[in-house]
Amino acid sequence: MIVAKDIGLFSKEEWTRIKEHLGLPPRQAEILKCVMGGMSDKQVARSTGISVNTVRTHMTRLFRKFGSNDRVELIISMFAYLTEHHLPDSRALASDAAAPEVACPVARKHHG
CATH 1.10.10.10 is right for the domain spanning 28-87: yes
Does 105 sit behind a cis peptide bond, omega within 30 degrees of 0 on the bond before it? no
* Full pLDDT tens readout for the chain, 112 residues: 544 445 567 888 888 888 888 888 999 999 999 998 889 999 999 999 999 999 999 999 999 998 999 999 999 988 888 888 877 654 444 443 333 333 333 333 343 4
**Residues making up the chain, counted from first to last:** 112
DSSP letter, residue 9: S
Identify the CA nearest to 28 among candidates 75, 68, 62. Answer: 62
